Amino acid sequence: MICSVCGVNKATKLCDYIVGQVESVKQTLNETCDESLCVSCSLHIGGDYDFCPDHAETIKKELLMYGGASIEDNFKVPLAK
């Protein structure tokens, strides 16, 4: 798979930004952006999360909005320890 941002490098990551939730029979699953990203086009945050450039901006704005609280407090899923 090729990175959908630069179109050059091999994509090894997917954007983990949560865009919605999918109700399945047993559980509610988070639906993520899933944009394919290479290492240089992704923003790596916290435990094991990567974001596409668009969603990296969204995350940064959200963090500013909440006055610099830690990303763990604002992110919708618990970060892997």
CB of 39 to Zn ion, least distance (A): 8
Chain residues that interact with Zn ion, rule: CB under 5 A: 3, 5-6, 9, 15, 17, 33, 35, 38, 41, 52, 55
**CB 62, CB 18: distance < 8 Å:** no
CB of 31 to Zn ion, least distance (A): 12
- Please write down the long-range contacts of 23-27, taking CB distance under 8 Å and 24 or more positions apart: none
CB of 25 to Zn ion, least distance (A): 27
The nearer residue to Zn ion, 38 or 45, going by C-beta atoms, is 38
